């Protein structure tokens, strides 16, 4: 036998709810931020539950060793490593070492919706925990409406209101969509094809660490 089909082991899954998820570190890459600070980019994959296999991308842990941020940097990297099961007392020399050690390790991360500069909402990692024995816990909080969709909705409403003032005038026969409402129903987002929103990389220089 080559393999057994499994609906939980397919491409194309995406995370649709905020919450706390058991994850595996699929990649951990040491690099520098635009300001030159060393950092690690973590990417994860959900391990269990209805979103098993869904990716969580672009979690940046930035190291800043100036007087105001050194302790925060130590605490953040320590939190990530301890959450993944690394015991106390291990000496850390540099971030590439951390990246190498963290690859494929398992932990839990809490994610919540955060609005980007383009007005869209994406899930961002907010905190780190040890694996949840009871399994991943989505909290039901779905993606908020983006400002772009809100503007499109308001535009459609304004057009509908304007049409009301034209109802007294004779209307020409319409063999297609006979109202803006029917048009909107047939074409989601007021005539614009609905495209899946891809995770957007946050500006790492704006992170607090």
Give pLDDT tens digits for 158-202. 555 555 545 544 444 444 444 444 434 444 444 444 444 555 566
pLDDT at position 58 over 70: yes
pLDDT at position 103 over 80: yes
pLDDT of residue 206: 55
pLDDT at position 85 over 70: yes
Answer yes or no: are the C-beta atoms of 190 and 181 closer than 8 Å: no
Backbone angles phi, psi at 54, to 5 degrees: -75, 140
pLDDT at position 125 over 90: yes
pLDDT of residue 185: 44
pLDDT at position 102 over 90: yes
Question: Mean pLDDT throughout 95-101?
Answer: 98
- Letter string b/e over residues 163-202, b meaning 16 or more CB atoms within 10 A of that residue's CB: eeeeeeeeeeeeeeeeebeeebeeeeebeeeeeeeebeeb
Q: Which residue has the higher pLDDT, 64 or 172?
A: 64
CA distance 56 to 46: 7
Backbone angles phi, psi at 47, to 5 degrees: -90, -30
CA distance 53 to 49: 9
Question: Is the Cα dihedral 23, 24, 26, 31 positive or negative?
Answer: positive
CA distance 123 to 58: 10
pLDDT of residue 197: 53
50: closest CA among 5, 13, 97, 103?
13
What tokens appear for 58 in the block? 């672009």
Angle at 58 between CA 52 and CA 55, to 5 degrees: 15
Answer yes or no: are the C-beta atoms of 163 and 85 closer than 8 Å: no
Q: Which residue has the higher pLDDT, 81 or 203?
A: 81
CA distance 126 to 114: 10
Q: Which residue has the higher pLDDT, 108 or 166?
A: 108
């Amino acid at each position: 036998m080559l393999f057994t089909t499994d609906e939980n082991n397919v491409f194309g899954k995406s995370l649709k709810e905020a919450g706390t998820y058991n994850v595996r570190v699929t990649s951990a890459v040491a690099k520098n931020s635009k300001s030159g600070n060393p950092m690690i980019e973590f990417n994860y994959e959900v391990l269990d539950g209805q979103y098993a296999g869904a990716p969580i991308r672009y979690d940046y842990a930035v190291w800043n060793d100036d007087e105001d941020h050194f302790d925060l940097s130590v605490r953040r990297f320590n939190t990530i490593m301890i959450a993944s099961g690394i015991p106390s007392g291990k000496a850390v020399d540099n971030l590439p070492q951390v990246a190498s050690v963290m690859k494929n390790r398992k932990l839990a991360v809490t994610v919540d919706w955060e609005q980007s500069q383009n007005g869209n909402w994406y899930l961002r990692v907010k905190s780190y925990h040890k694996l949840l024995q009871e399994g991943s816990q989505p909290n039901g909080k779905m993606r908020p409406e983006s400002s772009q969709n809100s503007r499109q909705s308001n535009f459609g409403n304004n057009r509908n209101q304007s049409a009301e003032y034209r109802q007294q005038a004779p209307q020409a026969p319409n063999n297609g969509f006979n109202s803006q409402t029917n048009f909107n129903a047939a074409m989601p987002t007021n005539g614009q094809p609905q495209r899946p929103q891809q995770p957007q990389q946050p500006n790492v220089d704006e992170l607090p660490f």
